[in-house]
Amino acid sequence: MSAPLLCEGRVVVVTGAGRGLGRAHALAYAAEGARVVVNDLGVGLDGTPGPGSPAGQVVDEIRSAGGDAVAHGGDVATTEGAASLVRAALETYGRLDTLVNNAGFLRDRMLVNLDEDDWDAVMRVHLKGHFLPLKHAAAYWRAEAKAGRPPVARVVNTSSGAGLLGSVGQGNYSAAKAGIVGLTLVAAAELGRYGVQVNAIAPAARTRMTERVFAATMAAPGGGGGFDAMAPENVSPLVVWLGSAGSAGVTGRVFEAEGGRITVMEGWRAGPCVDRGARWTPAEVGDAVVKLLAGAEVPGAVYGAG
């Protein structure tokens, strides 16, 4: 007797699902029994329009394997695009259970060369492109809860190591990905009362966005067997589990996923502290801070720093 599928009957939306991580997530959800709304605008790495959306190709892959999926080509960084994404799930399948926010692109520049348009474009797609689908999905789930139909809803957001530690040449991307962590924490706190869990991942995998960074194939240390540690499919099992009913009780967390490794990331928290109970002078502050830093943990290195 085969094991039950983890997401049997669930309806899952994945943004930016035409390629890379999003495609891997969509296929993995379908393999676990989910019905999938595959969103992809079909643009280039810099966010400009491409020759056509690959979302339909992913839908064809899912259907060829016996799954159920529908394509959505709207821009999730617009109110109408995000609203239509949620409507696509409701009108096609009658419900929405899981939202995976994954869409994004790069416009890398050193800060002194970073144009305002490059900043705005990356913020728009990564940060606004997370906020708007989350807002519209959350409105649906809140209405369901108030109508006496509490959902078992899940949101998986996509941050990055760049958002947790910073990355040289990626000030816009790092800031947007850090913002996604903050959004995740707030959403988890606000939406829990409605049956919604919200988590984030910081994946490391070979995609169009990272192919210049990662070699074509990297064997995991001691892994053997031709294991491709940078394959995007390695990240998807965690995303599928977080988006399933089986992840009950897990919310407001950030997980790093790379190869066969999963790490619970522990964010900003109070470290060494001193309180003199009165106002400091600047000189006194300097002495106090030096002593505090001597007892504090050293922060992780910014990616790409010398």
- The DSSP-derived string for the chain is -PPPPTTTT-EEEETTTTSHHHHHHHHHHHHTT-EEEEE---B-TTS-B-SS-SHHHHHHHHHHTT-EEEEE---TTSHHHHHHHHHHHHHHHS---EEE--------B-GGG--HHHHHHHIIIIIIHHHHHHHHHHHHHHHHHHTT----EEEEEE--HHHHH-BTTBHHHHHHHHHHHHHHHHHHHHHGGGTEEEEEEEEE--STTTTTTS-S--BPTTT-TT-BTT-GGGTHHHHHHHTSGGGTT--S-EEEEETTEEEEE------S----SSPPPHHHHHHHHHHHHHTSPPPPPPBT--
Q: Is beta strand 261-265 parallel, antiparallel or unpaired with respect to 153-158? A: unpaired
Whether 180 and 126 have beta carbons less than 8 Å apart is answered as: yes
Q: Domain ranges for the chain, please list them.
A: 11-265
Whether 70 and 37 have beta carbons less than 8 Å apart is answered as: yes
pLDDT given for residue 77 in this prediction:
96
Whether 225 and 130 have beta carbons less than 8 Å apart is answered as: no
pLDDT given for residue 43 in this prediction:
57
**From 1.10.1370.30, 3.30.479.30, 3.40.50.720, 3.40.47.10, which CATH number describes the 11-265 domain?**
3.40.50.720
pLDDT given for residue 228 in this prediction:
86
Structure tokens at 157: 């957001």
Distance between CA atoms of residues 120 and 269, nearest Å: 30
Cα-based distances in Å from 194 to 120, 143, 149, 155, 240:
32, 9, 10, 13, 21
pLDDT in single tens digits along all 306 residues of the chain: 677 899 999 999 999 999 999 999 999 999 999 999 999 987 555 444 444 578 999 999 999 999 999 999 999 999 999 999 999 999 999 999 999 999 888 787 898 998 999 999 999 999 999 999 999 999 999 999 999 999 999 999 999 999 999 899 899 999 999 999 999 999 999 999 999 999 999 998 775 555 444 443 344 444 455 788 889 999 999 999 999 999 999 999 999 999 999 999 998 889 999 999 999 999 999 999 999 999 999 988 998 887
pLDDT given for residue 104 in this prediction:
86
pLDDT given for residue 230 in this prediction:
82
pLDDT given for residue 300 in this prediction:
87
Nearest to 209 by CA among 58, 105, 127: 105
pLDDT given for residue 47 in this prediction:
43
Catalytic center residues: 160, 173, 177
pLDDT given for residue 217 in this prediction:
38
Nearest to 72 by CA among 28, 18, 150: 18
